[in-house]
Amino acid sequence: MSAAHSSRAHSCRALLLGRVAYGESDLVVTLLTEPLGRVSALARGARRSSKRFAGALEPMHTLRVSLDERPRADLAVLREAALDRPRSKLVADLESLQAAGKALSWLRRATPPRTPEPEAWDAALRFLDLLDRDPGRQQERLVTFGMQLLEAFGWGLDLGRCVRCGKVCPPEQTALVNPERGGLVCRSCGGGPLRLESGLRHALLLAAQGHEDTIPGADLPRALELVERALSAHMGFD
């Protein structure tokens, strides 16, 4: 069977996670696709004016792409791309762009190649749609997305009991958390570098379950540090 006949064609939704120039007129793009997970693909002629891509290879929007997967090839071939769900309000707001850019960076580094991640996909679309519908509370929504991403990949933080000895922390009590060790660490087991009051701990638990807009504004810096350190522990983020 020829290579052409053994390739597999896909038409699916995707998010653009990154792109780099290749040769004189091509791009290598990194896509998070709904059915395939993270895929790298060669977009021939994408740096020239092309009806096949029509200016669609931009981040933040949901795309509809046509891909050919080739056996034993590292790169798929991107045949066509078009806007499926543009997000014009998001791209017009600087703070929303910055928050969305960080979220896409998390996805690019956390998702394994060619492995569907439906929970991460759904969380990403919800996050981007929220920023587009109602620009504002960007950092709060970014923390919520980060907590959901940790859950989606099986890296959820245990904020209810010590990850070393299993001792339960009462809901009304302040806790010490070590994100690199996976959650709460009681004082007897050495404690952790981040101090979470009961209200913030509860808000983060709600965020991990998918509840939006639960993080108090004054607590956002600590909450974002917690999320980024937890992700870094698994994926070596900068």
Q: Are residues 67 and 143 in the same domain?
A: no
Q: Which of 88, 104, 133 is the last residue of a domain?
A: 88
CATH number, position 18? 2.40.50.140
Alpha-carbon distance of 78 to 29, in angstroms, equals: 9
Domain extent, residue 20, equals 3-88
Q: Are residues 95 and 180 in the same domain?
A: yes
Q: Are residues 132 and 231 in the same domain?
A: yes
Who's near 164: CB < 8 A, 6+ residues apart?
A: 181, 185, 186, 189, 190
Q: Are residues 71 and 113 in the same domain?
A: no
**Domain total in the chain:** 2
Amino acid 2: pLDDT: 47
Average pLDDT over residues 129-140: 94
Identify the weakest region by mean pLDDT among 35-44, 68-77, 119-128: 68-77
Taking a C-beta distance cutoff of 8 angstroms, is the pair 104, 132 a contact?
no
Q: Are residues 117 and 228 in the same domain?
A: yes
Q: Are residues 79 and 122 in the same domain?
A: no
Q: Are residues 160 and 77 in the same domain?
A: no
Question: Residue 1's pLDDT band (boundaries 50, 70, 90)?
Answer: very low
Q: Which of 88, 109, 127 is the last residue of a domain?
A: 88
pTM listed for this prediction: 0.91
Q: Which of 49, 68, 88 is the last residue of a domain?
A: 88
177: three-class secondary structure by DSSP = strand
State pLDDT tens for residues 69-94.
Answer: 988 889 999 999 999 999 999 999 99
Q: Are residues 137 and 61 in the same domain?
A: no
* Burial zone of 32 (CB within 10 Å; 0-12 exposed, 13-18 middle, 19+ buried): buried
CATH number, position 101? 1.20.1440.120
State pLDDT tens for residues 210-228.
Answer: 887 788 889 999 999 999 9
Q: What is the DSSP letter of 139?
A: H
